[in-house]
Structures are given as structure tokens and as C-alpha cells.
Amino acid sequence: MTGKKIIGIFLLVLLASCGKQEAGTTAIGIIAPLTGEGATYGAAMKRGFDLALKGASAKLIYEDSRLNPKDGASAFQKLVSLNKTPIIYGAAASGVSAAIAPLANKSKVVLFSSISTSDTLSDAGDYFYRNVPRNALQGKTAATFLAKDKGIQSVAILGENDEYGVNLASSFKQEAERLGLAIAYEGSYLSTDIDFRTKLQAIKESGAEAVFIPGNYEESGIILKQADELGLQALFIGGDGSYSPKLVAFAGQAAEGFYCTMMAIDRSTAKYKAFEKKFTDAYGKSPDVYDTYAYEAGLIIREAMEKQPDDMKSYLDNTSFDSFSGPLKFLSGDVDRLYGIEQIKEGKFSSL
């Protein structure tokens, strides 16, 4: 046998083995931002999901989306075609999930996110699921907090120009106007922007009492720092994308007092307390909200995999799950649950 034939046979065997799983083991794909911007989201996804699937008959296969829609779509194609995954956990960032969802529908592979909140994903197709509530509820929570809890009368909006930021800014504006808040300024920025001073100066001159900044933690942190440097004395509030310890690293002392909306958790339950201990024992620190929702997503996927492995989609559609905020039922892939408010106090996020 020639050397070329031997190499050819070896490659065929290698390719065949890539998609093969151990007997009784289910391959679960995970698409998360493991590096680059958004890596803290990916780290939380991995911590929570790994803990939920510990001891399960599952092979977890991670792919890095880098918070990029094209990379996310490529990761999906690889997981489905090469690894034959029947279900995929991900993605982080609504824009990445929006890019993957059509592929999931075409392949009939469940795509399950614990982070993507854009309202447009409610129409992403039959195979997209999420245990996080939609932006419409998040925008409403932020606007209501400003108008009713803080007595704000005028607000500026400065959001990231992507699927998440545009959608959340829109839902916030709609509710703010309904509540009688004056929109003193409205603008947007790109994820590549690093200088927000011109826009912040315009906001300062507008007289806005509060500023809503829906975007990721990196840009939000820079905005807070530059606003402080300009002497912009306004209340700042963001969406769940701002929720990360790294926001404090970017903003420094300027982060103190910052508010953001975040998915609600009932920390008083025995279920949560048991999870908190398990998480702390495993990682040496308390879980944050993204850790918690990732763990919950993992438990839901694990239950579907163990109870009805041949039709996990049907199981998700017809089962009520025990969540960290009470009974959870999927309706066309969406859930009905609440957002709360977090504030940075002494450098750490704290629930109000």
C-alpha cells in the first residue's frame, strides 16, 4: 500500500470519528464568546452550563463566536455537520443568535440562549428558545424605574448600533414617552467607537436628567468614564449588556452608582441557595446573574435530553420547568418573566 493511500485512509477514519459519540452520550454544542469583546459573557455561560451538565451522559463541544455573527454561523455549521449535535446552547448577543437562528430552523436543531434578549428573536423561528425575557420588558423596566422611582422628567438615549442596542433603545423610548418623559437627546454609536465625548457633550447641553445607554459593558464603561471627565452630572442606566465586573474596570470610580436592568432571580428559595453553594464550592465565588441563567439553561437542556432525547423540541414545548423565578413554560420559544434593577455599590453590582 502506498504512503498516499495510507494517509487517505487515515483521514477518512479521522473524519468519521469526529462526528461519532460514545454509546449513550449526547453531543451538545455550545456557541459562546470565549475570547475578545464579550468574553465575560462566555465565561459565565461556560461556568453555569458546565456545572449543570456535570455527571450527565453528554459531550460538551465549545466553539468561539467572538461575539461576531459570521463566526457564530460558522461555528453552528461545524457543530451540526461535523459533530452532529441535536441541540446547541447559545448564543450570546442577539445579533449572533439572529444570524444562527435561520440555520437552526433549516437544520431542525434546537438553539437555546440564556442571554439574547432582542424582541425580533420572537420571530426567529420554531427552533429558537431562550429562558431570558424580551427587551420589551427590559425597556419598560428601565423607563418605569426612572419615571416612578427616581422622578426623572427628561432623558437622553445613547445606544449601540446593533441588534441588541437598537431594539432595546426602541422599547425604552416607547415606554418613556408613554410615561411622559421628554427625550432630550437620541444618538447611537458603533462597537468600534472609543471616543464618545462629542455625543456626551451634546447630552450635557441638552439638560437631560438621566441617560439610557443600552450596549455592552466595554463601551458602557468607557462612556461612564468620559462622562465623568466632562462633568456630566446625570443618572446613568444601561441594559443587561452592561452587567459585568469589567465595566467597573473600564469606568473606574465613575461606575459607582450606575444602574442597569437585569433578569430577575428569587434568591430566597431553597433551589437558589442550593445552587449558590454548589457554584461557590466549584468556583470559589458567588454566582452572578449570567452564571445563574446559564446553569438554569443547562438544567432545562439536561432534563429534555434525559427525558425525551429523540425529540427534545417537543419536550421543551410541552413541559413546565422549575426556574429561579418560579414555574417556567415556553410559548413559541419565549418566556414570561421579569427584569429587576442592579446598582454598582462599592465597585460591585447589587440588586435593589
More confident residue, 256 or 25: 256
Cis bond upstream, residue 91 (ω within 30): yes
What predicted TM-score, i.e. pTM, was given to this entire model? 0.85
The per-residue pLDDT for range 146-162, each reduced to its tens digit, is 999 999 999 999 999 99
Name which of 82, 121, 52, 3 is nearest 322 in CA terms: 52
3-state secondary structure at position 57? coil
**CATH code linked to domain 136-264+340-351:** 3.40.50.2300
Kindly tell me if the per-residue pLDDT of 254 is higher than 50: yes
Residue 193 grid coordinates: 467607537
The per-residue pLDDT for range 41-71, each reduced to its tens digit, is 999 999 999 999 999 999 999 999 999 999 9
Where in the chain are the domains? 3-132+269-336, 136-264+340-351
pLDDT at position 130: 98
Name which of 143, 117, 142 is nearest 128 in CA terms: 117
Rounded to an integer, the average pLDDT of 317-342 is 96
Phi, psi angles (nearest 5°) of residue 183:
-90, 100
The per-residue pLDDT for range 75-112, each reduced to its tens digit, is 999 999 999 999 999 999 999 999 999 999 999 999 99
pLDDT at position 24: 72
Angle, alpha carbons 44-327-321 (nearest 5°): 65
Same fold, 3-132+269-336 and 136-264+340-351: yes
Q: Which helix (H) or strand (E) holds 3?
A: helix 3-18
Q: Is the dihedral of CA 258, 218, 289, 245 positive or negative?
A: negative
What is the rounded average pLDDT for all residues in the chain?
Answer: 93
pLDDT at position 22: 54
> For 3-132+269-336, which CATH superfamily applies?
Response regulator (3.40.50.2300)
pLDDT at position 23: 53
